[in-house]
Chain A
Amino acid sequence: MAARSQRGDAADAALGRRSVLGLGAALTGSLALGRDAFAEQTDAAPPSDAPWSQSLGAGVVDRPYGRPAAFEAGVIRRNVPWLTAGTESSISFSPLQSLNGIITPNGLFFERYHAGRPDVDPARHRLMIHGMVERPLLLTMPDIMRFPSVSRIHFIECPANGGMEWRAAQLNSLQFTHGMVSCAEWTGVRLSTLIEEVGVRKEATWAMVEGADGAHMNRSLPLEKCLDDCLVVYAQNGEALRPEQGYPLRLVVPGWEGNVSIKWLRRIKLGDKPWFSREETAKYTDLMPDGTSRGFTWLIDAKSVITFPCPEKPLNGPGLYEIRGLAWTGNGKVTRVDVSVDGGANWTTAQLHAPVLSKALTRFSLPWRWDGKPALLESRVTDETGYVQPTITQLRAKRGTNSIYHNNAIQTWQVKADGSVFDVQLG
């Protein structure tokens, strides 16, 4: 047991070193730094006393609004320049390879803009609710904050997450294959509270939600969903929404594709039909091989991915590791995640880590003793409806390769004998 425990500690230590290594590698332009490089850095290791242990640190309010350690400078949102015409109507990806837990730090939450990030003055921002209502309403931010508040932890995922992988494995990176998902604690007022406050006329069955950005981004939502679990939020992980996430006010539509969670929310209009806006006809519709398209495909199906190891976080020699990952589903709760190290021939059920919340990221892990031989790592989630995450082959058989959105396929990481990890697809 003692030997086993020591090896486990060694593996953990190696992981810790590797995260520091990211910066070292970036600074030197070398990816080949190994244990030897650490062995040379002895000025702070025992028996030496570290320089920071023999000096006075900075005082309180040295940084009135805190920021990550300088050594974490490489842990940032990143984009794929060739993906879009410019950065204003584009997307950035969360660095999932460097994150732990189910909450995405506010500065690392993925971004999706349709007309850039507006800088909205909360004092001049208004929310209008009108249309098929008894009593139209115009609310200021203080008005909205006065309503009964709730806090909920939910993921938001862009349905284009994994969209570049329909045809083949293309991006050798967890950040770029899966980083269009993030998860936060949202605080605000239930949309149902606001809708009850204006009163629904009986013919109303749909709502149009619209942003104050230059795109005046708008989507239609069934009134039933609005009254179920949607939130109009002004806070994210305890502080005001970030401008990137819709400051001062956004909608959160739990479990549905991210673009319906309208940011910089300024208007809600009730009606008796959907609006068929550009963002729910020309875009965010799924083209099938027979030329038909699916519209109003809101649900995020169950999905999971191994976040360690991954292309950005390779293995460092044989031994005991903890395979780690994230799972989520728009259907509610994750009930099980299975992990395979042989390309899907055999599976072992991983441990889910509390809290397991509805429509939130859920952590899983599985201890794995790597023998140093090539391996094919996969994770497969089952959700509370019994839905099982499919393979890319199963998805392609139904949807072809041109539907862009809603690729929730099992991800395969190829581990080579040297510990390096690659994005591959299996047949």
Chain B
Amino acid sequence: MSSWADRVPAVAMAMLLAAATARAAGPGHFGYGTVPTPEQIAGWDIDVRGSDGAGLPPGKGGVSRGEVVFANQCAACHGTFGEGEGRFPKLAGGQGTLTDDRPEPTVGSYWPFAPTLFDYINRAMPMPTPHTLSSDDVYALTAYILNLNNIVPNDFVADRDSLPNVRMPNRGNFIWTDPRPDTKAAACMSACVDPATITITSTAEGKDLTPRTTGPLDDMQPK
């Protein structure tokens, strides 16, 4: 039995090949992989859009339930009231500090969108066992942390309808178009500054902040 190619004249075959290679690469051009099932997509399609809450799942959770979940799942690192343990992030407070010499950016003082809080807890927390909490618990934690920041009242219940309507205090202070380049340095080559005016304003010498860069890793613990 002759193959399909054997029965096609060589010229026609060349034309077919040319057509195949000349075709603009469109969807399915290579044909590798599979089309994921709706169930496969749903399992991974966890993203929630911060600005309007698109993608928020069914479920709900209130502040008091959130307090319980927080104590069990979060307080060891973030402190009972979101104050942060050690160098772990502080989640509450800091409002009005963003222009200070030492600003305290927290959920309440800095985050522009409430649905982002649900998204982040859901995808990344708790740190040792991420993405293991139920949607109800994530909603409850979101409500509790917003309440710690005095953004929602004690009886607030977070769900897919309420969260997009929470107005975050710092919402209006973000610029989403990069204004750089914001410096206009010139490549001056000679006598650019008076050498007499050049002063060292700070030095790392003697500050004791630098780990060793030879030998084994430096844990910087007192010996």
Give A contacts to B, CB under 8 Å: 22-23, 25-27, 74, 76, 78-82, 84-85, 88-89, 95, 97, 114-115, 128, 130, 133-140, 143-144, 146-147, 168-173, 175-176, 193, 196-199, 208, 210, 214-218, 266-267, 269, 271, 273-278, 281-282, 285, 287, 289-299, 301, 311-312, 336, 338, 342-347, 349, 376, 380, 382, 387-391, 394-395, 398-399, 402, 406, 414, 422-427
Contacts and interface: CB of A to CB of B under 8 A. Distances in A.
Interface string B52-68: 10000000000000000
Interface in B98-113: 98-99, 103, 105, 107, 110-113
B49 A78 contact: no
Nearest to B110: A282
B192 A347 contact: yes
B86 interface: yes
Interface in B40-88: 40-41, 44-52, 77, 86-88
B90 to A, nearest CB: 11
Given A140-B33, A176-B211, A422-B203, A345 B198 contact: yes
Interface stretch (B2-10, B13-21, B144-152, B182-190): B182-190
Contact of A289 (B48, B99, B119, B221): B99
Nearest to A404: B105
21 contacts: A26-B214, A74-B214, A81-B219, A130-B45, A136-B41, A137-B33, A137-B34, A146-B30, A171-B209, A172-B210, A196-B25, A210-B47, A214-B124, A216-B131, A217-B124, A287-B105, A345-B190, A346-B191, A347-B190, A391-B185, A423-B203
A276 B112 contact: yes
Contact of A297 (B36, B50, B178): B178
A426 B47 contact: no
B86 A422 contact: no
Nearest to B41: A130
Interface stretch (B134-142, B154-162, B168-176): B168-176
Interface of B: 25-30, 32-36, 40-41, 44-52, 77, 86-88, 98-99, 103, 105, 107, 110-113, 116-117, 119-120, 123-124, 127, 130-131, 170, 173-183, 185-195, 198-205, 207, 209-211, 213-221
A274 B47 CA distance: 11
A426 B199 contact: yes
Contacts of B36: 128, 130, 136-138
A390 B29 contact: no
Chain B at the A interface: mostly helix, strand, loop or mixed? loop
A291 B99 contact: yes
Given A176-B211, A277-B119, 8 more contacts: A147-B30, A199-B28, A215-B124, A276-B113, A338-B189, A347-B188, A349-B189, A423-B205
Contacts of A269: 45, 47
Contact of B180 (A208, A266, A297, A382): A297
B204 to A, nearest CB: 4
Contact of A276 (B40, B49, B110, B175): B49
A172 B187 contact: no
Contacts of B111: 278, 281-282
A424 B194 contact: no
A138 B44 CA distance: 11
A216 B124 contact: yes
A175 B211 CA distance: 10
Nearest to B38: A136
Contact of A97 (B34, B213, B219): B213
Given A146-B30, A276-B50, A291-B99, A344 B213 contact: no
B181 A146 contact: no
Per CB-CB distance, the 10 closest pairs between chain A and chain B, nearest first, are: A276-B50, A199-B27, A26-B215, A168-B202, A427-B201, A278-B120, A216-B123, A172-B204, A85-B87, A390-B183
Contact of A282 (B40, B116, B193, B198): B116
A148 B217 CA distance: 42
A216 B27 contact: no
Given A344-B198, A380-B187, A424 B204 contact: yes
A218 B25 contact: no
A208 B123 CA distance: 14
A422 B202 CA distance: 10
Contacts of B47: 208, 210, 218, 269, 275, 277
Contacts of B103: 287, 402
Most chain B CB within a 10 A radius of its CB, from A84, A299, A391, A398: A398
Given A298-B178, A299-B180, A394-B183, A81 B30 contact: no
Most chain B CB within a 10 A radius of its CB, from A208, A271, A292: A292
Contact of A95 (B27, B32, B204, B213): B213
